[in-house]
């Protein structure tokens, strides 16, 4: 079915669910009706395993997107357990032929924010665009230039990186400061970051 038609049907559904949602929680009727309708629109999505703060931020953000801007946001993938992440990483290593190349797309379990429960792969592209524009109000940030779908929940804005595997390089930050003697800029490297920038 055409995505626009699906979106319209989902909105009609959410409005129809409002009375039931009102019975569930009079003050949060629009919130619950939105989650129920989106759950029917994206039946495969699974919010289990996300940290409580991440799940709250995501559901609050998409409630606003849904009712105010008529934008649907679905979850393609949230939490992954370490075993699955390990399999995905090894598969990517096999596919690309090197660990470095694999890290551009998939991180090992101990570095993955999907394993720690703060990462959200969302859809469709319009929904991701909405989240990129408005997500900061909810602590949700796009992290990588090469992944329009990947967002993470953070209490303070994290740096935007070109791709996931840049994390190890980001542990060393190149700083540029003016040299008082010459008046020119002087670059030096400073160890920094926690090396935990994740996908
Ligand atoms: Zn992701």
Percentage of residues of the chain with pLDDT beyond 70: 83
Shared domain check, 66 and 17: no
CA of 110 to the centre of ligand 1 (A): 14
Q: What is the pLDDT of residues 148-187, one digit of tens each?
A: 999 999 999 999 999 988 865 554 444 444 444 544 544 3
Shared domain check, 124 and 66: yes
Whether 193 is covered by a domain: the verdict is no
Residue 142 has pLDDT above 70, yes or no: yes
Q: Are 128 and 148 in contact (CB under 8 A)?
A: yes
**Burial bucket for residue 148 (CB in 10 Å: 0-12, 13-18, 19+):** middle
Q: Which residues neighbour 149 within 8 Å (Cβ) at sequence distance 6 or greater? A: 76, 121, 122, 123, 125, 128
CA of 184 to the centre of ligand 1 (A): 41
CA of 150 to the centre of ligand 1 (A): 4
Q: What pLDDT is recorded for position 1?
A: 75
CA of 76 to the centre of ligand 1 (A): 9
Q: Which residues neighbour 70 within 8 Å (Cβ) at sequence distance 6 or greater? A: 7, 11
Q: What is the pLDDT of residues 51-92, one digit of tens each?
A: 999 999 999 999 999 999 999 999 999 999 999 999 999 999
Whether 13 is covered by a domain: the verdict is yes
CA of 6 to the centre of ligand 1 (A): 25
Q: What pLDDT is recorded for position 168?
A: 53
Q: What pLDDT is recorded for position 199?
A: 60
Shared domain check, 73 and 157: yes
Whether 175 is covered by a domain: the verdict is no
Q: What pLDDT is recorded for position 188?
A: 35
Whether 23 is covered by a domain: the verdict is yes
Shared domain check, 163 and 65: yes
- Its domain, for residue 163, covers 46-79+117-167
What is the rounded CA–CA span in Å between residue 29 and residue 26?
A: 5
What is the rounded CA–CA span in Å between residue 115 and residue 109?
A: 6
Shared domain check, 149 and 69: yes
CA of 197 to the centre of ligand 1 (A): 12
Mean pLDDT, rounded, of the chain:
87
Shared domain check, 138 and 67: yes
Count of domains observed in the chain: 3
CA of 84 to the centre of ligand 1 (A): 13
Q: What pLDDT is recorded for position 178?
A: 47
Residues around ligand 1, an ion, CB closer than 5 A: 119, 121, 150
């Amino acid at each position: 079915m055409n995505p626009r038609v699906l979106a319209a049907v989902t909105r009609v559904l959410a409005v129809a669910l409002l009375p039931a949602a009102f019975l569930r929680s009079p003050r949060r009727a629009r919130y619950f009706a939105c989650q129920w309708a989106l759950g029917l629109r994206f039946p495969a999505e699974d919010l289990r395993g996300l940290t409580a703060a991440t799940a709250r931020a995501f559901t609050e953000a998409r409630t606003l997107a849904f009712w105010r801007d008529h934008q649907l946001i679905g979850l393609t993938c949230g939490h992954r357990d370490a075993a699955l992440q390990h399999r995905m990483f090894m598969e990517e290593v096999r596919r690309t032929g090197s660990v470095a190349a694999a890290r551009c797309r998939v991180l090992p379990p101990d570095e993955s924010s999907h394993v720690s429960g703060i990462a959200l792969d969302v859809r469709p592209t319009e929904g991701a665009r909405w989240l990129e524009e408005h997500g900061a109000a909810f602590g949700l940030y796009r992290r990588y230039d090469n992944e329009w779908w990947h967002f993470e929940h953070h209490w303070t804005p994290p740096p935007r990186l070109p791709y996931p595997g840049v994390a190890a390089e980001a542990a060393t930050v190149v700083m540029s400061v003016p040299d008082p003697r010459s008046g020119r800029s002087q670059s030096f490297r400073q160890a920094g970051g926690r090396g935990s920038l994740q996908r």
